[in-house]
Copies of this chain bind each other. A is one copy, B any other.
Amino acid sequence: MASVSILVVLDLVGIFVFAISGALVAVRKELDLFGVLVLAGTTGLGGGFLRDVLIDATPPAALADWRYLMVPIAAGLVTFWYHPTLGRMEPYVNVFDAFGLSLFCVTGAIKAMDYGLGPAPAALMGMVTGIGGGMARDILAGRVPVIFRGELYATPALAGAAVAATIHQYDGPLWAAATAGGLLCLTWRLMAIRLTWTAPMASGPASA
């Protein structure tokens, strides 16, 4: 953990981008500086916290390594001061966010298997790592999670996590599991943004 490996850098970049999306929601909801920082931290770290609590990897890594706490604080402060600029850059933020999602779903699934879960629940934990922060952000901001509202976000994460878990299960090399799973999630998510694919809704009238 102490050395700056490529994986840690990628992880911190993913947290940074997720944290910016949380801070932007907080600014738009007219929360104060503290609310901006909390939503930045929750969005950046919440998915990993939820996974670590469920697979019994507590205390979460982010509480044992100060860099993991500094990154969402930095993202929150940047957003607090420069939110009009960041708001205009949102299409780019969404692309970086897709990178973060791809990274988290893969690392989350592999970590869950290293803690003894089978591949199917590990894939679920990978998805939770990717989407948990955004769900916590929306609940704290008082809205129904946007990923329940037709946006194709969780399915690519689950698919990528499942591919990574399957390769890891059959003792494939880590880089192959991470690359195959991550690329599947990334491609699918970017195409969903680009082509505005949506998830299916239940048909017919919803009975009261």
Taking Cβ atoms with an 8 Å cutoff, the residues of A that contact B are: 26-36, 38-39, 49, 53-56, 58-60, 62-64, 66, 69, 80-81, 83-84, 87-88, 115-118, 120-121, 124-125, 135, 139-145, 147-151, 153-155, 198-202, 204-208
13 extra interface residue pairs, beta carbon distance < 8 Å, beyond A27-B202, A35-B145 = A29-B148, A30-B201, A30-B202, A31-B201, A33-B202, A53-B53, A64-B117, A64-B118, A69-B120, A69-B124, A135-B140, A140-B145, A141-B144
Instruction: Quote the shortest CB–CB distance from A200 to chain B (angstroms).
Output: 5
A103 to B195, CA, bound (A): 47
A-B pairs with beta carbons under 8 Å apart, 7 shown: A28-B206, A31-B144, A55-B63, A83-B204, A84-B205, A84-B207, A142-B143
Expressed in whole angstroms, the Cα–Cα distance for A26 and B54 within the complex equals 24
How many angstroms between the C-alpha atoms of A58 and B53 in the bound complex? 8
Q: Give the complex CA separation of A71 and B81 in angstroms.
A: 43
Known contacts A28-B206, A59-B54, A59-B117; A34/B155 CB under 8 A? yes
